Amino acid sequence: MTDSRWIDPEIDDIFAADPELLQLAHLVRSARPEPPLDPRFQAVLRAQLMREAPAALGSPTTVARPRTVRPRTIRTSRRVWWRRSTPFAWGGAGLGAALVAAAVLTLLHTPVQDHVTAASAVAELHAVSPDNIITVAFNEPMNHAAVVAGLHISPATQVSTAWQGNNLLITPTHHLTGNTPYSVTIARSATLAANGQLAASDIHITFGTAPTPPPAPSIAQLVPQTLGPVSNGAQLVSAGDGTVIATSSTAATTPTATATATPSTSASPSSTPTSATTPTSSPASTGPVVLPGISASPVAGNLVSMSAATGVTDLGPGATSAALDPNGIRLIAAVPAASGTRLDLVPLDGSSWSRLATLASSVLATGWLSGDTALAAEPGRIVSVDLQGHVSTLVTLPPGTTTVVFSANGQAFAGSTTGDGVLIDLDSLVSRPLPGSREIAAFSGDGSTVAWVDATSSPTRLLTSPVSHQATATVPLHSPTDTISAIALDPGASHLAIVDQAATGGSELDVLSLPSGTIIARGPEARDPVYATRGDRLAFVSGGTAQIARLPGVQPGTAVNLLPSGAATTLEALVDAQVNGDANSLAALAAPGLNILAASPSHLSRGYLVSAVGNADGTVTATARLIADPTTGHAAVSFVDETVALSARAGGGYLVSALHAGALQDEPIGPHVVSVAPVSGSTLVLRVSFDSDLRATSVASAITVTTRAGAPLRVTTVYDADTRTATITVPVSAGTAVRLTIGTTLVDVDGQALASPFTAVSGG
Amino acid sequence: MTLPRAYEDQLVERAKVDADAFGELYGHYFGQIYRFVYSRLRDQDAAEDVTSEVFFKALRAIGRYKPSGHPFSAWLYQISVNAIADHYRAKRPATSLDDAIGVADPAQAVADRVAQSDEASRVWAAIDSLPEQQRTAMTLKLGEDLKLADIGVVMGKSEGAIKLLIHRGMIGLRERLDVTTFDRGEA
């Protein structure tokens, strides 16, 4: 092991008389240890010396010692290496890999000029994409290792870094959390330029991310059943028992009519719908005309009823529009005729049709105002038709109207290609525009909520609002650049089905949970989605056939988010209005006597619903977090967790009956819970999202779940680092309310404990 | 690696008034000083503390530095030796002889044991048990390759005195290794 190349005549001379000592000297020399050296140490010491040099070299006897306050939480087995023994004390806290964001150097020394500056395109922005790479541009070539070592991001975020010239590129390992304020800090002592210069102070870059859907659950693939062939452009109407009516079939199929008077075993060109349904008496002015029931097998172009159980039943001549009456027993069908459009009553039991009226023009849509009054929209007006065939004009439509959609409770949407569509109350005839809407809109089955595509924004926005008042909420979209060609709302505004077409050409059917926008199911390329009346099935046209699919995990009449119909929309609207300081919307959402605006903090940047639970008395209790992003003058995130109570509004929907917010306070350091949401399914599964990258091993043990009465439940918790989400499987049915507690033993990747213990009641 | 003497002399003169020149000196000598300090303290934190103190002292005092015909590094080593002494005065070394030497195999020759890396580290640790001046001289010679004359400048002694310190130190090292090994072997 001796170093034969090492020759030191002086050593040879000293030990010339003692070869063993000479050999030992060589061995000692060759075995001299290489000391461990933190590469940052040399750089920081140089920076400190350079800062002191002007004063020291100018006045050698009066060098002022830097005195430094160095809070630090560096995780290392050895002690602080930039600590200086007395009388020296100098800074360098920023080079720790895990410095807290609040680490601030206080240097009490003669000021010297610093030249390093930094800027970032995301600074002070409030809607940065969570997929963004954060770029910090320096004005000088930097010491890469020193800068990266002093980089800290709050909430704790694992990142990779790269350099492009003087630009530091920071790429989050798991993307940023949506709707979250961020602070990127580089301690002054780490802002070390290659020439030894430093920044004048710590570098703080604050920004907020845009709202995004919470971490997506696994997306179920819809498994549709084919019901039968339909014509191109045929409209689907869904009945509650899984029966689907298509306004126009394409061809005869296996005859399965079960409720017809004269069933046939084969399609016959001679048994035309025309011959079977030709009116036999005069039109509306003389009252309804009774037509014979359809007994023929399905005929191409005819109105058909389809179900998996009974097959296809020919109901009569094809229609351009049809609507199921509130009792679910008959249709109002608009059937083209030589003189215009006939409005016929079509019983679903196969009994005889009734002609209500004949309109002179085409019909854009049909609906029902009540069980005994049907609706029809012509290009210029909406008419009502009673069961005696009396036609009355309800409202004149805006010029250029091309699309009309009726709700189940007396509302109508009228849209065109050129201007904002309008929402019309057919009772009061009061209308209001739906901003940005054109031709795509839909009502929830209960009529309480309207959804529409804002075609004026880029990328496309999908919006919802209660019908009763304007409180617009944006549905987060996973692929906002896609084009949405059709939408459908379920009965309780808990789900939304959309047909979206990617710029690359492919289209698909997605089922979203509201208000989160989380995709819960995905189907094939399709058009014209329609919810079954009870909301647990979705019908659509795909590949020239009508199909129907059960929605995984959705029980009839039960919302995935387990909130009563409309409650989620109200909560979302509340938070939006608070953040926007929208006094009118807040007033509209408030129960009598409640002043939400006065109870809300001002200067908010963002907010989100943390948890919500429906109570046995029909009320809803929720927690929302309201946030003021950091500013140049206030580096900390400010927040308040408000509690909200909702009560049912007479006539549908919900009002805020109580709200307590309190004053904003600085957010404590450490990870925070962003949301707690049940996941669809028969067993209760809670998905808890965090704003920070967590130490995975700390998650499960920090989470406990009990019944509301306090009995512990054995749960299984899985943490997904990519989505910063803990999925907790609770061995109770999905409708059971439980109490979730997360303790401060949960820590982020920087070792910071959960900012405060978290408790929420969820799941029922 | 040494700087050309003339260049170094000019650099030192400039460093008395020019921070950049001082920075260049720092860049050149940092490694040597840190290694020397560490080899004497065997504690990274302490080595960083003392090294930083050495250079701050140098920064403060360079205006009074007068070339003596020896390398500038000798002056830095001199400051280092003093700083190390200060450090020891403030805090006695935590490494005991027993801990430093550990258990050796008495059947092996000293040289063979030294040849093993962990044994080598023990040997260097054993040097720490030598009298302070012996180990300083040995470290500067065998660890830093300084000339005897320069070591003399650093330690304020004659070249002959340094030779004697190194010779005695090496004998002491051999004795400690042998005796310690024997004692441990009998224990």
Amino acid at position A632, single letter:
T
| Of the residues B39, B63, B93, the one at which a domain ends | B93
- Strands A159-164 and A167-172, bridge-based pairing: antiparallel
Asked if the ipTM is above 0.90, the reply is no
- Tell me, yes or no, whether A608 and A712 share the same domain: no
Strand, coil or helix: A355: strand
- Tell me, yes or no, whether B129 and B186 share the same domain: yes
- Those residues with Cβ within 8 angstroms of residue A423's Cβ, 6 or more apart along the chain or in another chain: A411, A412, A413, A431, A432, A433, A434, A450, A467
* In a domain? residue A632: no
**A5 — contact with chain B (CB < 8 Å)?**
no
Say if the Cβ atoms of B23 and A37 lie within 8 Å.
Answer: no
Per the structure, the complete domain to which residue A592 belongs is given by 562-624+639-657
| Of the residues B43, B60, B93, the one at which a domain ends | B93
Substitution target from A4, A57, A195 for chain B, most B beta carbons within 10 A: A57
Number of neighbours of residue A545 by Cβ within 10 angstroms: 18
Strands of A631-737, DSSP E: 638-648, 654-660, 665-666, 673-679, 683-690, 703-707, 712-713, 716-720, 725-733
User: Residue A335: its pLDDT value, please?
Assistant: 93
Q: How far apart are CA B124 and CA B118, in angstroms?
A: 10
Per-residue pLDDT band at A298 (split at 50, 70, 90): low
The CA R_g of chain A, rounded to the nearest whole Å, is: 35
User: Residue A342: its pLDDT value, please?
Assistant: 93
Q: Which residue has the tokens 């047909």?
A: A499
Nearest to A60 among B64, B167, B171 (CB): B64
Q: What percent of chain B shows pLDDT beyond 70?
A: 76
Say if the Cβ atoms of A31 and B123 lie within 8 Å.
Answer: yes
- Tell me, yes or no, whether A643 and A724 share the same domain: no
- Tell me, yes or no, whether A182 and A59 share the same domain: yes
* In a domain? residue A187: yes
Whether the pLDDT of residue A339 is over 80: the answer is yes
Enter the tokens of residue B24.
Answer: 């260049």
Say if the Cβ atoms of A33 and B39 lie within 8 Å.
Answer: yes
Whether the pLDDT of residue A532 is over 70: the answer is yes
- 8 A C-beta contact, residue A248 and residue A233: yes
Say if the Cβ atoms of A56 and B16 lie within 8 Å.
Answer: no
- Tell me, yes or no, whether A615 and A755 share the same domain: no
Q: Which of A337, A358, A346 is nearest to A304 (CA)?
A: A346
- 8 A C-beta contact, residue B110 and residue B180: no
- Tell me, yes or no, whether A81 and A102 share the same domain: yes
Say if the Cβ atoms of B124 and A60 lie within 8 Å.
Answer: no
**pLDDT tens digits, residue range A225-275?**
888 889 888 899 887 667 888 898 885 544 433 333 333 333 333 333 333
Per-residue pLDDT band at A553 (split at 50, 70, 90): low
- Tell me, yes or no, whether A18 and A51 share the same domain: no
Per-residue pLDDT band at A619 (split at 50, 70, 90): confident
Whether the pLDDT of residue A341 is over 90: the answer is yes
For residues A429 and A481, which has the higher predicted lDDT (pLDDT)?
Answer: A429
- 8 A C-beta contact, residue A401 and residue A415: yes
| Of the residues B65, B93, B121, the one at which a domain ends | B93
CATH of residue B185: 1.10.10
Best-predicted range by mean pLDDT (A256-260, A347-351, B80-84): B80-84
User: Which residues of B are less than 8 Å from A83 in CB distance?
Assistant: 45, 49
Model confidence, pTM: 0.41
Amino acid at position B168, single letter:
R
Binding-face residues of A in 188-227 toward B, CB within 8 A: 196
Whether the pLDDT of residue A330 is over 70: the answer is yes
Per the structure, the complete domain to which residue B143 belongs is given by 95-187
Whether the pLDDT of residue B162 is over 80: the answer is yes
User: Residue A32: its pLDDT value, please?
Assistant: 75
CATH of residue B81: 1.10.1740.10
C-alpha distances (whole Å) from A74 to each of A70, A96, A150 are: 11, 5, 11
Indicate the number of domains in chain B.
2
- Tell me, yes or no, whether B107 and B142 share the same domain: yes
Min Cα distance B170 → chain A (Å) is: 7
Q: How far apart are CA A423 and CA A153, in angstroms?
A: 46
**pLDDT tens digits, residue range B128-148?**
888 888 888 998 888 888 889
Whether the pLDDT of residue A375 is over 90: the answer is yes
